[in-house]
Amino acid sequence: MDAMRDIREMHEELTAWRRDLHAHPETAFEERRTSDFIAEKLTGFGLEVYRGLAGTGVVATLTHGTNGRAIGLRADMDALFLQEENDFAHRSQNDGKMHACGHDGHSTMLLGAARYLARNRWFDGTVRFIFQPAEETGNEECGGNRMVRDGLFERFPVDAVFGMHNFPGIPLGHFSVRTGPMLASIDTFEFKVLSEHNHPATQFTSPDPILLAGRIVEAFHSFKARSINPAEPVVMSITQFQAGDPTNDRQGVHITPDHAYVRGTVYTLNDAVRDIMQSQLPNIAEGIASAGGAGCDFSYERGYPVLINAPREKELAVSAASALVGAERVETDMEPIMGAEDFAFMLKEKPGCYILIGNGDSESSCHVHNPKYDFNDDAIPFGVGYWVSLVESYLPAS
C-alpha cells in the first residue's frame, strides 16, 4: 500500500504522542487533558471538531468529494484505575491510574489516520473520527452508550461504524476478526441472603445465611450446566462472597452474621441466554433462601451487549487489512472472546465491524489490564494503515 511510506514518516511523532498520552492517563469521563490533546490535533489538521458528547467525547468530520456516504471510525480514550509497575520514562504520572488497555495507542492511531487523510484525500465521502470516553466502566453508563444516547448518529450520521483494539499475543502486523458475535455481553448481579444475628451455639434457631448463600452459588453453577444449551457459551463467575464480622474473633465474642453478600458476573454470546440468566438467577436465589426461612434481596444489572460484526462490513475490514499486510496475516474466523467491549452499543445502532490488531507475541508482551502492560508503538503504522485502507476502500475516489 502506497500510503505506508508516508505513514511510516509520521511514526516517530505519533510515538511521542502515544507516550505523552500514556504518561497522563485519565479515567472514565475525566479525560479532559486527553480530550484537549486530541481536539487540538484534529483542529490543527483542519478538521471540523465537535466536543461534548458524553462529556469528554470528541467527534471530527472530514468531507471530500460529492459522495453522500459516511463512515465512522472509533477509538477509546480512557485509562484504568491501576498502579503502573513499569519504570520507563513514559510511565504514568498519575498515581493509581494507568493506560493498561492500550487506549493511548488506539487514540494515537486514529489521530494518525485523521492527519494522513486530511493531507491525502484519496476518498470520496465523509469520515467521522469518533473519540469516546469511559470504555472501561462495564455498565450501561459507559462512554459508548452515552455517546449514542447523546445523539452521536443523529448529529453525525454514518452508514457504518468501525472499531479496533490491540491484542497482546497476536503477532505484530497481524489482524483478527470474525463475523457475528465476537465479544460477549457482560452483566453483574448481587444478592444478600437475609437472616438475623445469633449465637453460634443456637444457630439452628434461625436461618444460616452462609449455608444458604453457598447453596445458591452451587445451584447457579448447576443451573448453568443443566439448563442452558451447552452449545451456547456462558461464563458465570462469583467474584465476591462476604459474611460475618471480622472483629468477632478479636473481641472474643461469637456472633453469627445476619446476612451473606454475593456478587458475580455473567458473560454470554447470545441475548436469549442473557435473558434466561437474568430471569432465572433471582428465582433460584429467592427460592433457596425462602426454603431455608431467609429473605433475599437480588439485583441484576445489564452491562454491555454482545458485540456483533455485520457480514458485509466484516468483509470490508478483512479486505482493508489484507491490502495492508497480506491475506495470510489476517485471521478471518477467530474464536469469539468472552470479554466485553462497549463498542457493542454503537454496533447495535449501525452495521460495522470491530477488529483486533496484534500488539506482539514476544514473551515480554503481557496482557492488557496488567500493571506491566504497554502498548506496542511498532503497531502504530499498521493501525493507521488499516484505518486509511478502510476509508479508501469504503469511500473509493471516483
Active site residues: 78, 135
Nearest-approach distance from CB 368 to Zn ion, in angstroms: 5
> What H or E segment, with its residue span, contains residue 36?
helix 32-44
- Residue of closest CB approach to Zn ion: 101
Q: Answer for the pair 299, 190: CB distance below 8 angstroms, yes or no.
A: yes
Q: Which stretch binds Zn ion (CB under 5 A): 7-15, 83-91, 93-101, 182-190?
A: 93-101
Q: In degrees, to the nearest 5, what angle opens at C-alpha 369 toward C-alphas 325 and 108?
A: 45
Residues in contact with 50: Cβ distance below 8 Å, sequence separation at least 6, in sequence order:
58, 59, 60, 61, 155, 156
Quick one: 3 or 142, whose CB is closer to Zn ion? 142
Nearest-approach distance from CB 25 to Zn ion, in angstroms: 12
What is d(CA 106, CA 377) in angstroms, rounded to the nearest whole number? Answer: 11
Write out the three cell numbers for 144: 459508548
Q: Nearest CA to 177 among 388, 347, 370, 375?
A: 347
Quick one: 101 or 109, whose CB is closer to Zn ion? 101
Q: Which stretch binds Zn ion (CB under 5 A): 36-44, 100-108, 283-291, 350-358?
A: 100-108
Q: Which stretch binds Zn ion (CB under 5 A): 5-13, 51-59, 101-109, 215-223?
A: 101-109
Nearest-approach distance from CB 39 to Zn ion, in angstroms: 21
Per-residue contact flags (x/-) with Zn ion for residues 185 to 214, judged by CB under 5 A = ------------------------------
Residues in contact with 216: Cβ distance below 8 Å, sequence separation at least 6, in sequence order:
191, 193, 262, 284, 285, 288, 289
What is d(CA 306, CA 269) in angstroms, rounded to the nearest whole number? Answer: 6
Quick one: 111 or 213, whose CB is closer to Zn ion? 111
Q: Nearest CA to 217 among 198, 191, 196?
A: 191
Quick one: 102 or 381, whose CB is closer to Zn ion? 102
Q: Answer for the pair 330, 227: CB distance below 8 angstroms, yes or no.
A: no
Q: Answer for the pair 278, 185: CB distance below 8 angstroms, yes or no.
A: no
- Is residue 110 a contact residue for Zn ion (CB under 5 A)? no
What is d(CA 398, CA 381) in angstroms, rounded to the nearest whole number? Answer: 26
Quick one: 166 or 256, whose CB is closer to Zn ion? 166
> What H or E segment, with its residue span, contains residue 388?
helix 380-394
Quick one: 110 or 212, whose CB is closer to Zn ion? 110
Quick one: 101 or 243, whose CB is closer to Zn ion? 101
- Is residue 101 a contact residue for Zn ion (CB under 5 A)? yes
Other Cβ atoms less than 10 A from the Cβ of 327: the count is 11
Nearest-approach distance from CB 78 to Zn ion, in angstroms: 8
Q: How many residues bind Zn ion (CB under 5 A)?
A: 1
Q: Which stretch binds Zn ion (CB under 5 A): 27-35, 94-102, 122-130, 287-295?
A: 94-102
Nearest-approach distance from CB 341 to Zn ion, in angstroms: 7
Nearest-approach distance from CB 344 to Zn ion, in angstroms: 13
Residues in contact with 38: Cβ distance below 8 Å, sequence separation at least 6, in sequence order:
58, 77, 107, 111, 131
SS3 143: helix
Write out the three cell numbers for 344: 457493542
Q: Which stretch binds Zn ion (CB under 5 A): 45-53, 97-105, 292-300, 316-324?
A: 97-105
Q: Answer for the pair 189, 234: CB distance below 8 angstroms, yes or no.
A: no
- Is residue 262 a contact residue for Zn ion (CB under 5 A)? no
Nearest-approach distance from CB 339 to Zn ion, in angstroms: 8
What is d(CA 115, CA 124) in angstroms, rounded to the nearest whole number? Answer: 16
Quick one: 101 or 306, whose CB is closer to Zn ion? 101
Q: Using CB under 5 A as the criterion, which residues of the chain lie in contact with Zn ion when the complex forms?
A: 101
